Amino acid sequence: MLYGPGQPIMLRQVLEAQALEFVFQPIVDLGQAVILGYEALMRGPQGSPLHAPDDLLRVARQAGLSFDLEVAACLGAMSSFAALRLPGKLFLNLSAPVIAHFGREHGGRLLRHAVEQGLAPGRLVLELTEHERVDDVDALQGCFAALAGQGVGLALDDFGDGRSSLRLWAQLKPELVKLDKFFVRGIHQDSRKVEVIRAILKLAEAFGTPIVAEGIEEAAELGVLRDLGCHYGQGYLFGKPAAAPGAVVPEVARGVLASSKIAVLPNSAPRPDVAETVGRLLLQAPTIAADAPNGDLMQLFTHHPQLHAVAVVEKQYPIGLVNRRHFVDKFAQPFSRELYGRRPCTLFMNATPLRVEAAAPIDSLISVLTGEDQRYLHEGFIITEEGRYAGLATGESLVRAVTERRIEAARHANPLTFLPGNIPITEHIRRLLDAGVDFAACYFDLNHFKPYNDLYGYWRGDEMIKLAARVILAHADAAHDFVGHVGGDDFVVLFQSEDWRQRCERVVRDFNLHARDLFDAEELTRNGFESEDRRGFKVMFPLTTMAAGVLRAGAGQFHSPEEVASAAAAAKKLAKQHGSGIHISFGARLRPVLEAAG
C-alpha cells in the first residue's frame, strides 16, 4: 500500500478511538500438550487501508507514531484477551523503548491496566522485538527489573534472524527465547537445521532458558522438535491467529506429542570444505599496551567503530581483554575522563579472558559453550599463535563454527546411495532403545551379488545396489521408518510402522521383480548366470534376489545397539537359507540365547 497524506490522520483517529483489533495465536507446552499462552497480534479496523499490521507499522514510523501505536496495542490487547477469558499467559510484542518506558514508571500504567482487566501481572510476557534498536542493554536491564519484580516475564523474539544478540540473551536472562521460524520450516528434511537447533538448545540449557520454536506447520516438524527436546511451540499446526482462538491443543498436534514413536532425523551427504581449526575465526584487530592510559584506549575505540573489544598485551602476550561497550559506558559517565583518563587501561580489562591457540581444533571448544563463564559470548575471545597475540574472535563466530562442525560430524552417509551409514544407524537404534518403543530391525541383503558384480562389473553392480535403495525407500514411511545403508549390498530398516511385515514382503517382491531388468537376455532365458565362486571355479548361480532378516524388538528386550545389530544379522543369515527370503526372529525368544552365548 502506498503512503498517502491522509494515512497519519487515519492512524491518529484509530488510536484515539481505540479501534485497533486483535487476534491471538496459541503457544503450546510440548511436554504436557497444553496451551502455555497466546501471542497477541494487532490489526487495523477491518476493511480499512490500515488493516494489515505491516501497513500500520509503516505508517506509524513515517508519522512518528510508533511509540503511541505500541502502547495502544499493548493496552488494547490486554483488554481483548481478558474479555475472551483465555487461559495461560499473554505475550505482548514491544520494542526496547516501550519496555524501558513502562519500567521507568515502575510498570504503573501497564500493571494498573492489567489489574483493571482482571489479569495478574504474572500472566504477562513482554516479547522484545527489533533487537537492533537496543542501544543500552544495561539501561534496559535496569528498567525491566522493576517489571520483573511484579512478576512480568520477558522473552526474546525471533532469535537467530540475524538481528538477534547473544549478549541480550546472556545479560537480560529472559524467561523464554523464541526461535526464528527459518530454523523450524522443513527441519525434518534438513540436517543443518537440526544441528543448529541442537546447538541453540545446548545454549538454552547453559542459560537455563526454555525455547519456543515458531512457525511449526507440519506434524513431521513437530515430531523432530519434540525429540530434540524443544520446550514450547507455536505455528499454524497449533492454530492460526484468530480473534477467538481455541483453548485446547488440536487433535493432530496432540497425536504427535502423545505418540511413542520417535522421529526419523534427516541425514546429509558429506561436505569436506569446513575448516577444522580455531584459526579460521581469527579477526585482525589492534592491541593496546598494558601501561597505556585509558584516554589512548578511548581514542582507539573511536578510530575503530567496528571493534568489539581490544586485547591488552605485554611483550606480545595478551594479559587481558577490554570490552568496548563496558568500557565506553564507564568512560562516558560524568567526570570519568578526569578520574580515569590517565590511569592504565588495565583498570577496566577482564584479566581472565578466554585464550585459544589458532591451531586448536574447533571441536575442542564445544565444551566451552556450556561452561559457567559465558562472558566470551558478548566480549569475544583472544586467539594466539605459540602463546603470542594473533587476533580476536567473536562469540557468534564460535557458535556458528561449532554448529558447522556438528553438521559435518553428522554426515556419515554412503557415497553411492547417500543413505545414513553405520554411525547414524547406531544412533537411531540407541534412540529407539532409550525411548522404550517396539520396533522391527530388518536387515536386507542381496543373494549372489558378488558373482553378479564379478560378471557384469562395478557399474552394473552399483545400479543393482541403487535399485535396492530405491525399492526400500519406496516401501518405508519416511516419518517413522529409518533406512540405512551398512555398506555394499547390506541395508537396515528400523521400522516403527505397524505393518512392517507387509512392507518387508513388498520390498523383497518388488526388488526380485525389477532386478531382472539388470540381467541380459541370455541369463534371463537360463534363469541364472555363470560366474566364479569364492574358490575361483565357474558355477551356475540363480538370479540375484533379496533376503530379509527381521528382528522384532520389544521394549526392554535389548540394552545396546550392538545387541540389536547382532540379532538382526543372525536373522538375515537365516533368511538367506529360506526359500521365501524372509525370516523373522522375536526378541523375547532370542534374548536368552544371546545371554547364554555371551
Of 71, 82, 80, 58, the residue nearest 8 (C-alpha) = 58
Span 428-432, average pLDDT? 96
End-to-end CA distance of the chain, in Å? Answer: 74
- Secondary structure letter of residue 581 according to DSSP: S
Q: Does 223 share its domain with 354?
A: no
pLDDT of residue 433: 96
290 and 400, same domain (yes or no): yes
What distance in Å separates the CA atoms of residue 208 and residue 175, rounded to the nearest whole number? Answer: 9
Question: Does the pLDDT value for residue 154 go beyond 60?
Answer: yes
Residue 410 clears pLDDT 50, i.e. is over it: no
In contact, 39 and 27? CB cutoff 8 Å: yes
Q: According to the per-residue pLDDT averaged within each range, which of 171-175, 239-243, 303-307 is highest?
A: 239-243
Q: Which domain holds residue 572?
A: 422-597
Per-residue pLDDT, 414: 82
**Cα angle 562-566-567, degrees, rounded to a multiple of 5:** 120
Looking at residue 505, what is its pLDDT? 95
289 and 314 Cβ atoms separated by less than 8 Å: yes
pLDDT bin (cut points 50, 70, 90) of residue 136 is: confident
The pLDDT tens digits of the residues spanning 183-224 come to 999 999 999 999 999 999 999 999 999 999 999 999 999 999
- The whole-number pLDDT of residue 362 equals 84
Q: What is the CATH number of the domain that holds 531?
A: 3.30.70.270
pLDDT of 132? 61
Inter-residue contact 566 to 553 (CB < 8 Å): no
CA distance 440 to 551: 6
Q: Is the per-residue pLDDT at 562 higher than 90?
A: yes
Answer whether residue 263 is part of any domain: no
Do 103 and 220 have their domain in common? yes
Express each pLDDT in 454-464 by its tens digit: 999 999 999 99
Query: 168: which 3 cell numbers?
Result: 541480550
Distance set, CA 528 to CA 518, 520, 531, 539, 540 (Å): 12, 10, 10, 10, 7
pLDDT value, residue 412: 66
| Residues 564-593: tens digit of each pLDDT | 999 999 999 999 887 668 999 987 555 444
The C-alpha atoms of residue 502 and residue 156 are separated, in whole angstroms, by: 48
Using alpha carbons, select from 399, 402, 407, 359 the residue that is nearest to residue 377. 399
pLDDT at 162: 60
Q: Is pLDDT of 238 > 80?
A: yes
15 within some domain: no
Res. 469: pLDDT tops 70: yes
Q: Which residue has the higher pLDDT, 557 or 408?
A: 557
Give the pLDDT confidence of 310-330 residue by residue, as tens digits: 999 998 899 999 999 889 888
**Which of 410, 518, 403 is CA-nearest to residue 456?**
518
Location of C-alpha cell 516403527: 496
Asked if the model's pLDDT at residue 354 lies above 60, the reply is yes
**370 shares a domain with 457:** no
- Is pLDDT above 80 for 597? no
CB 232 within 8 A of CB 28: yes
Q: What is the mean pLDDT of residues 357-371?
A: 80
Q: Report pLDDT for 337.
A: 82
pLDDT digits (tens, 9 = 90+) for 17-48: 899 999 999 999 999 999 999 999 999 999 88
- DSSP for 135-189, please give it: --HHHHHHHHHHHHTTT-EEEEEEETSSS--HHHHHHH--SEEEEPGGGTTTGGG
We report the CATH number of the domain holding residue 110 as 3.20.20.450
Indicate the residue among 406, 441, 470 that finishes a domain. Answer: 406
CA gap 132, 136 in Å, rounded: 11
Q: What is the dihedral of CA 26, 28, 33, 35, to 10 degrees?
A: -50
Q: Quickly state the pLDDT bin for 438 (edges 50, 70, 90).
A: very high
49 lies in some domain? no
Residues 349 and 484 in one domain: no
Same domain assignment for residues 475 and 388: no
Q: What is the pLDDT of residues 492-515, one digit of tens each?
A: 999 999 999 999 999 999 999 999
Range scoring the smallest mean pLDDT among 364-378, 415-429, 526-540, 570-584: 364-378
282 and 203 within one domain: no
Residue 580 belongs to some domain of the structure: yes
In a domain, 538, yes or no: yes
Average the pLDDT over each of 160-169, 270-279, 289-298 and give the range with the smallest value.
270-279
Does residue 553 fall inside a structural domain? yes
Q: Is residue 47 part of a domain?
A: no
Q: What is the pLDDT of residue 370?
A: 66
**Which SS3 state, helix, strand or coil, does residue 221 take?**
helix
User: What is the domain-level CATH number for residue 309?
Assistant: 3.10.580.10
Residue 473 is assigned to a structural domain of this protein? yes
Alpha helices in 21-107 (DSSP H): 53-63, 66-84, 96-104
301, 442: one domain: no
Residue 587: in which H helix or E strand, if any?
helix 587-597
Shared-domain flag, residues 448 and 575 = yes
What is the CB neighbour count within 10 angstroms for residue 20?
21
- For the cut 50, the answer to whether the pLDDT of residue 273 exceeds it is no
What is the structure's pLDDT at 174? 94
> Is residue 92 pLDDT above 50, yes or no?
yes
How many other CB atoms are found less than 10 A from the CB of residue 545? 17
Asked if the model's pLDDT at residue 78 lies above 80, the reply is yes
Per-residue pLDDT tens over the stretch 374-397: 777 778 899 999 999 999 998 888
Question: Residue 430 pLDDT > 80, yes or no?
Answer: yes
* 357/338: higher pLDDT: 357
Contacts of 342 (CB under 8 A, 6+ apart): 293, 294, 295
Between CA 567 and CA 132 the distance in angstroms is: 56
Q: Which residues pair with 499 in a beta bridge?
A: none
Task: Tell me: do 243 and 94 sit in the same domain.
Answer: yes
Q: Output DSSP code: residue 237.
A: T
Domains held by the chain: number = 3
- Are both 150 and 224 inside the same structural domain? yes
Q: CA–CA separation, 368 vs 499, rounded Å?
A: 46
Contact 531, 454 (CB under 8 A): yes
DSSP state of 277: B
- Same domain for 562 and 492? yes
User: CA dihedral in degrees (415, 421, 424, 427; nearest 10)?
Assistant: -170
Q: Tell me what the pLDDT averaged over the chain comes to.
A: 89
Portion of the chain with pLDDT greater than 90, in percent:
65
Task: Tell me what pLDDT residue 163 has.
Answer: 57
